[in-house]
Structure 1
Amino acid sequence: MTDVVVILFRRIRVNGVRRRIIRDVSIIGSAAPCNQLLMIGRRVGPAARCLLNNGFQRVLSRDNVLVFIRVR
């Protein structure tokens, strides 16, 4: 089975620091155990690290889109 996670994000500046904030998420299959981090308004970094640490590979990083795939 293959799991796919697509993250759409926006870039904002908070106190002079640039942040990427999740704008939308699509999950096909499962994103466990990262579901709590994949919420609109949360930061992209922790969610992306969680996915990578749990067997996902980043297959696309373009503009404001990240795509991760995990084959189980």
Structure 2
Amino acid sequence: MAKDDLVSIDGKVSDMSGGGVYFITLDNGVDIRARLCGKMKKFRIKVVVGDRVTVGLSPYDPTHGLITHRFKA
């Protein structure tokens, strides 16, 4: 699925797990799992617990997503 097809939703990182998996609490209260997108890995953008992020969700599987942007604090 292309990145243009994803639904973008803002949320907050609530927990980190091994293997680059982040647990995100979305603004609507739903908890999901997410990973970093390729550009964030390439440029070594760090995401820690408490950061506000934008998550791209697939319309077919809304239980996990792709972190596409980290907001500056």
Please indicate, yes or no, whether the TM-score normalized by the shorter chain is above 0.5.
no
Normalising by the residue count of structure 2, what TM-score does the alignment of the two structures yield? 0.27
Is the radius of gyration larger for structure 1 or structure 2? 1
Normalising by the residue count of structure 1, what TM-score does the alignment of the two structures yield? 0.27
More helix by share: 1
